Amino acid sequence: MTAGAAPGWSIPLQGPLTEGTCVRIGWPEDAELDAITALRNRPDVRRQFFDQRVLDVDRNRDWLRHEMNRPYEAVLSIRMKLDGAFIGAIGWSKGDPAERSFELGRVMVDAPMLVRYRHVFPSDYPGVAVDAGTALRDFAFTILGLDVVRMVVIEANRLSQRAAVAGGARVVGTRAERRSDGSEVRLIDLECSREDWMRLTARAHGAPGLSALDPLMASSPSL
């Protein structure tokens, strides 16, 4: 087991973890910590999160570096395979080795940054959010041995919901929650079980294309 890893999930706590078609995913480097916070604090990104407050840069840097309960929660960097450029983040929370589950989310994509990579993406590319989410979903079932991956999206965030469903999730419920400012927001709960994932991978080569999704979409399929 990697030094420092808690019993249950034996995975690296730094460096790369997995990759998709066009992206690589791994624990953030020090130089990326403030970039993650800056992306999260953009008005167009943070409004897709349940908690829309602006994060303090220094406090969030400390949390990302030292206080996050790795490996049972994660904020990971999404990087382009082409040149290693930071283009977003993804992660999980509520990791439970006993239940073999976690909540996938914390997805942020730097849409303006991706304009320069339009020529790189295949014609049927489903989008960075789907690419990264699918890669992490496969990591969850193959490496962590999970039985279920959960997701929560804000009902109004249609791109997030489409990305989650494109990655194999199914809606299991809806509910209303109140934010800290007193406003009410409707949430959609989704799940992808090991059985769902096995069916998806079994028919992967014959599955319909996902090219209808915007490869530049910035989505946050988690709170």
Q: Which domains does the chain have, with CATH numbers?
A: 16-206 (3.40.630.30)
Residue 216 tokens, joined: 């530049």
φ and ψ of 148, to 5 deg: -155, 140
Cis amide bond preceding 208, omega within 30:
no
pLDDT tens-digit profile of 103-159? 999 999 999 999 999 999 999 999 999 999 999 999 999 999 999 999 999 999 888
| Residue of 215, 69, 54 whose CA lies nearest to 132 | 215
pLDDT tens-digit profile of 50-104? 999 999 999 999 999 999 999 999 999 999 999 999 999 999 999 999 999 999 9
Q: How far apart are CA 178 and CA 37, in angstroms?
A: 24
CA trace torsion 161, 44, 86, 121 (10° rounding): 50
Q: How far apart are CA 108 and CA 80, in angstroms?
A: 14
CA distances to 51, 113, 114, 166, 214 from 218, rounded to whole Å, are 17, 11, 10, 15, 9
Question: Would you give the distance in Å from CA 175 to the centre of its chain?
Answer: 21
